[in-house]
């Protein structure tokens, strides 16, 4: 039986970049296409929450508009960096050419070189699912510019018409960018409606369009290309700084969490805030010694009762209202705050001490 595909289309608003997380649901082996440096923590938390094993970061090309997170993932998870042999990227673990296969679990991507936007552009075809990741070669009702980074409108014309347009019309197109919120297209749609290369366009029509666009250069052009040649390795070779007052985990929902076990063994280093209602804390016997009780509905009005000398860890019955408490405290300007994973239910399940 074939295993299903886990597929996430992630977006970076600042550069209009799509990052794609693909995993084989059975083996949990995953790959990440076109990661973004500033989104490293978000994507790492998703990979960790889903329990995936990241095998590789794939680049569709050496980007000019944003910096990749491939080096960061390699440091954190040991994943490889894969890109075209012609990409100019200097830190690759595998240099790809047309026909190469990138396997993850029972799935595989086939490499199709699609030069034109840059010399080192590739598309990745997931044949069994009918999906192609086209980078900046083919965009939704557009295509990558060809006015810098060895760009060639003529090469791009042949890459698209002979390479991508020979895929089935039903094959879904997932580009590296969209600047209007569109998420996917198909080969058939782009063949018919792409305003630069669809319909009856010939090479002259396409080249004439591309050579007269006069687009402003990407804002990050000067920093992105040199950084991407190094896989996005920062000058100080350091991973982005994370709060380190405890072994915290950043969740994909963007909050910091701490394990109940750690809190139980470091109770004198933190201030525990229990935000259950008075009825719950009166009726239920489960209470952590020294926990301050402020019901969630009173929290905004009683913030000044919470001492400032220690980090605050929030708790409730199941660890949900305490997430809201976490957000309220962060909004009020508190810096060191974390939610206790799983709330009192998990605290009790793990046999941790109660009053």
Binding residues for Fe ion (CB under 5 A): 136
Degrees to nearest 5, angle at CA 134 with 133 and 139: 120
147 vs 280, which CB is nearer to Fe ion?
147
Cα dihedral across residues 46, 54, 63, 133: positive or negative = negative
User: Can you tell me whether residue 136 is helix, strand or coil?
Assistant: coil
Question: How far is the C-alpha of 303 from the C-alpha of 294, rounded, in Å?
Answer: 9
CB of 219 to ligand GSH, least distance (A): 4
Interacting residues of 305 by C-beta distance below 8 A, sequence separation 6+: 292, 294
Span interacting with ligand GSH, options 22-30, 76-84, 124-132, 212-220, rule CB under 6 A: 212-220
Q: Is 15 a binder of ligand GSH (CB under 6 A)?
A: yes
Choose which of 105, 115, 144, 175 interacts with ligand GSH (CB under 6 A).
Answer: 144
Residue for token pair 């970061």: 57
Helix (H) or strand (E) holding 163: none
Residue for token pair 């390479």: 163
Q: Is 162 exposed, middle or buried (0-12, 13-18, 19+ CB in 10 A)?
A: exposed
Residue 155, contacted partner among ligand GSH, Fe ion, none, CB below 5-8 A by kind: none
CB of 214 to Fe ion, least distance (A): 17
Q: Is 68 a binder of ligand GSH (CB under 6 A)?
A: no
159 vs 339, which CB is nearer to Fe ion?
159
Question: How far is the C-alpha of 92 from the C-alpha of 57, rounded, in Å?
Answer: 10
Which positions from 235 to 274 touch ligand GSH by CB under 6 A, shown as an x/- string?
----------------------------------------
Q: Is 188 a binder of ligand GSH (CB under 6 A)?
A: no
Q: Is 198 a binder of ligand GSH (CB under 6 A)?
A: no
CB of 181 to Fe ion, least distance (A): 19
Q: Under the rule (CB under 6 A), what is the footprint of ligand GSH?
A: 15, 64-65, 117, 136, 142, 144-145, 177, 215, 218-219
């Amino acid at each position: 039986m074939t295993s299903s595909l886990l597929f996430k289309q992630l977006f970076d608003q600042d550069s209009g970049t799509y990052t794609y997380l693909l995993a084989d649901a059975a083996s949990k082996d995953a790959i990440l296409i076109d990661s973004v440096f500033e989104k490293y923590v978000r994507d790492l938390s998703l990979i960790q929450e889903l329990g995936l094993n990241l095998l590789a970061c794939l680049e569709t090309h050496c980007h000019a508009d944003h910096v990749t997170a491939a080096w960061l993932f390699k440091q954190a998870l040991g994943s490889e960096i894969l890109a075209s042999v012609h990409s100019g990227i200097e830190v690759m673990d595998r240099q790809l050419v047309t026909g190469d296969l990138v396997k993850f679990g029972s799935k595989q991507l086939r490499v199709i070189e699609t030069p034109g936007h840059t010399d080192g552009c590739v598309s990745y075809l997931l044949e069994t699912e009918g999906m192609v990741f086209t980078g900046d070669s083919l965009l939704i009702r557009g295509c990558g510019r060809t006015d810098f980074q060895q760009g060639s409108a003529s090469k791009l014309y042949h890459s698209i018409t002979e390479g991508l347009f020979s895929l089935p019309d039903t094959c879904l197109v997932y580009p590296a960018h969209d600047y209007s919120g569109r998420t996917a297209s198909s080969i058939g749609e782009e063949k018919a409606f792409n305003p630069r290369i669809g319909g009856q366009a010939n090479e002259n029509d396409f080249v004439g369009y591309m050579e007269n666009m006069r687009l402003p250069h990407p804002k990050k052009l000067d920093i992105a290309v040199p950084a991407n040649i190094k896989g996005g390795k920062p000058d100080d070779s350091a991973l982005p700084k994370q709060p380190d007052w405890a072994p915290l985990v950043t969740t994909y929902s963007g909050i910091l969490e701490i394990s109940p076990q750690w809190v139980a063994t470091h109770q004198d280093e933190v201030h525990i805030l229990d935000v259950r209602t008075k009825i719950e804390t009166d009726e239920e016997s489960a209470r952590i010694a020294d926990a301050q009780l402020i019901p969630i509905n009173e929290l905004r009005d009683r913030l000044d009762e919470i001492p400032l000398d220690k980090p605050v860890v929030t708790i409730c019955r199941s660890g949900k209202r305490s997430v809201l408490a976490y957000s309220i405290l962060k909004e009020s300007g508190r810096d060191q705050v974390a939610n206790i994973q799983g709330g009192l239910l998990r605290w009790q399940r793990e046999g941790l001490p109660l009053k």
